[in-house]
Structure 1
């Protein structure tokens, strides 16, 4: 099976290198330097990485991330490109692929779509597209499903088809159609820069727009 997480890791490292340390990203308030520091912290400091999800520990996470961000930028990117250290949880067999395929794809697009190449189409492999589709239900439940005020139907475009539903049952529904990578970006809060079609009643779409960015909105 292709090592998709490793491929996306190197793509992300290449994009970070090309962008330089002060470029914008789609992560609110973060430059590429901040994103690189986050990536290194996440797989090298599990004690501090807990604050990414736990608000009570967010201050500790921010302090440690700040120390990483103060390091030379190219050193940070090289460290990230080199992969997790032996004792990192991400070094366990299968952990990198399971935990990082979506993470690195999304962050690579955070860099790419905030920069000069934002309007250019990005082709991804059939293997990566399939992997993103398999992981979409989890991303959608954790992100879009919690925030959406309407029943959200995420439909895969093209011959492969397929659809998943998240959000409150009953009432208004909105269907969002696109390729798996675009749906992952939408579900992860990058809808303003995603290439998806949104279909629903004006009232339902307006309600959704109040909770999640939609295509064409300011990121």
Structure 2
């Protein structure tokens, strides 16, 4: 029996964790509780802008109702189309699952090579974006195994860690990401000052 797609698995595990923690648990998203995060995910998947009014209306339905909507799955188009589902929804759920896990004392998951593969794929986009912000310096991403990725000139900032940790750092979850930052001091300072959050 084949395993479910990454986005479905991350969705189910996140829903389980939300149900376990309740509506008022913290997340890494500044100012957001678990209820806020669940409301955001419901609105995002149904193409509704997350205005304060809409967020409040969704949250008023209660966390159990939001979890039920999330468990029902995303609309077919585009979130369940092959190729898009993993890259777009898989990454979204991976990051937000970690937002809840890390804010509540749960550490990295080391038993998910498929998550690291997905995270490494996404670091291409986020690494390029971060490198543009720290020009004229370059950025190199290093994972424990495999070739590194370099954006811009050599000799800049070097960010090392497991792919999921690199993804968290590059998506603005810096304090929670288990990474090592080295390289040229000015490039490192520029990366620390860059707004890489998504």
Give TM-score, length-normalised by structure 2. Answer: 0.85
Residues 146/70 of structure 1: CA separation in 2 closer, same or farther (3 Å cut):
farther
Contact 1:140 1:188 in 2 (8 A): no
Structure with the higher helix share, 1 or 2: 1
Pairwise CA RMSD of aligned residues?
A: 2.3
- Residue of structure 2 aligned with 1:16, choices 18, 23, 32: 18
The 1-side partners of 2:133 and 2:15 are apart by 31
Contact 1:84 1:90 in 2 (8 A): yes
Matches within 5 A, 1:68-217: 68-86=58-76, 88-117=77-106, 120-142=107-129, 144-148=130-134, 150-157=137-144, 160-166=145-151, 169-170=152-153, 173-211=156-194
Give TM-score, length-normalised by structure 1. Answer: 0.78
Offset from partner CA, 1:62-118 (integer Å, 9 cap, x none): 3222211111111101211220145x532444432231111111101100111132x
Task: Give how far 1:173 is off.
Answer: 0.7
Task: Give how far 1:41 is off.
Answer: 0.6
Question: What does residue 36 of structure 1 align with?
Answer: 38
- What is the aligned residue count? 193
Could you tell me which runs of 5 or more consecutive residues in structure 1 were left unpaired when the two chains were aligned: 50-59, 214-219
Offset from partner CA, 1:190-214 (integer Å, 9 cap, x none): 121111111123343233222259x
